[in-house]
Amino acid sequence: MSISKSSGPTRKVLAVLEDLFFTVKINEAAKRAGLPVQFVKSERDALDAAAEQPSVVVIDLNCTCLDPLQLIRLLKAKPELNKISLVGYVSHVQGERKQQAQEAGCDMVLARSAFSQNLPRILQRHSEARSGAI
């Protein structure tokens, strides 16, 4: 089965982070899932890239280059963007931060270790979901 480009949603990963370790992990997992990945470090760049309707937005909830909770709220507040799946990750000891992200609208919040372990499956699922989308 060949995958053709359409005028619909863009099959890609948008990643909002500054950590080089996770940049490499996400890039490798996205390649294996057949998804291009775009990395951004500012709220404006994230919102501009989200307008292209990526398959998933991955957010480091400890990112210091922007306010991750504010970005989640902004993405969920815009009708044209609120259906995009948001996946956040955080240190396992930051239960309050995890709850804040969920309350802001993050669809899935994982501990960093669980995120690393499940990343290939998460991206594969988003690749498959979008390949069948209209």
Cβ atoms within 10 Å of 5's Cβ, excluding its own: 7
What is the CATH number for 47? 3.40.50.2300
> Is residue 7 assigned to a domain?
no
pTM comes to: 0.88
| Domain of 67, in residue numbers | 13-131
> Is residue 97 assigned to a domain?
yes
Under a CB-based contact definition with an 8 Å cutoff, are residues 72 and 86 in contact? yes
How much is the pLDDT for 128?
A: 77
How much is the pLDDT for 4?
A: 37
How much is the pLDDT for 73?
A: 98
Using alpha carbons only, what angle is made at residue 24 by residues 1 and 8, rounded to the nearest 5 degrees? 40
Burial of residue 48 (number of CB atoms within 10 Å: 0-12, 13-18, 19+): exposed
> Is residue 51 assigned to a domain?
yes
> Is residue 1 assigned to a domain?
no
> Is residue 38 assigned to a domain?
yes
> Is residue 66 assigned to a domain?
yes
> Is residue 85 assigned to a domain?
yes
Q: How many domains does the chain have?
A: 1
> Is residue 2 assigned to a domain?
no
Q: How far is CA 108 from the centre of its chain?
A: 10
User: One digit per residue, pLDDT tens: the chain, 134 residues?
Assistant: 333 333 445 689 999 999 999 999 999 999 999 999 999 999 999 999 999 999 999 999 999 999 999 999 999 999 999 999 999 999 989 999 999 999 999 999 999 999 999 999 999 998 876 444 43
Tokens of 63: 């990112």
Tokens of 62: 């400890």
Q: What is the CA radius of gyration of the chain?
A: 14
